[in-house]
Structure 1
Amino acid sequence: MKKGIILGFLLLGINAFSQSNEAKVRELISITRSDRMLSIGFKEFMDHYNNKYKDLPDNFWDEFKKDMAPERIVTLYIPIYKKYFSDADIDELIKFYKTPAGQKLIENMPSLMTESTEVTNKFVEAFNKKVNDKINEHYHFQNPPPPAR
Structure 2
Amino acid sequence: MTGKWVIGVGLCAALAAGPVLAAQPSEAQVRELMQVMNVPGQFTVMNNQMASMMSQQLPCVSADYWKTYIDKAGQEQLLTAMIPAYQHHFTSDEVEGLIKFYKSPLGQKLVAQMPATMTEAAQSGQQWGRQRTSDMFAELQKQGKLDAQGRCPGTSGAQGQ
TM over 0.5: yes
Q: Structure 2 regions of 5+ residues with no counterpart?
A: 1-22, 152-161
Q: Which residue of 101, 110, 126 maps to 2:115?
A: 110
Contact kept? 2:47, 2:69, Cα under 8 Å: no
Q: Structure 1 regions of 5+ residues with no counterpart?
A: 1-16
CA distance in 2, matches of 1:121, 1:76: 31
Q: Report the count of equivalent residues.
A: 127
Contact kept? 1:35, 1:73, Cα under 8 Å: no
Contact kept? 2:37, 2:102, Cα under 8 Å: yes
Q: Which has the higher contact order (CA 8 A, sep 6+)?
A: 1
Distance 1:46 1:110, change over 3 A: same
Contact kept? 1:36, 1:70, Cα under 8 Å: no
Match of 2:98 in 1: 93
CA distance in 1, matches of 2:43, 2:69: 14
1:16-55 correspondence to structure 2 within 5 Å: 21-49=26-54, 52-53=58-59
TM-score with structure 2 setting the length: 0.65
1:69 counterpart SS class: helix
| Identity score, percent | 24
Distance 1:126 1:24, change over 3 A: same
What is the RMSD computed on CA atoms of the aligned residues? Answer: 3.1
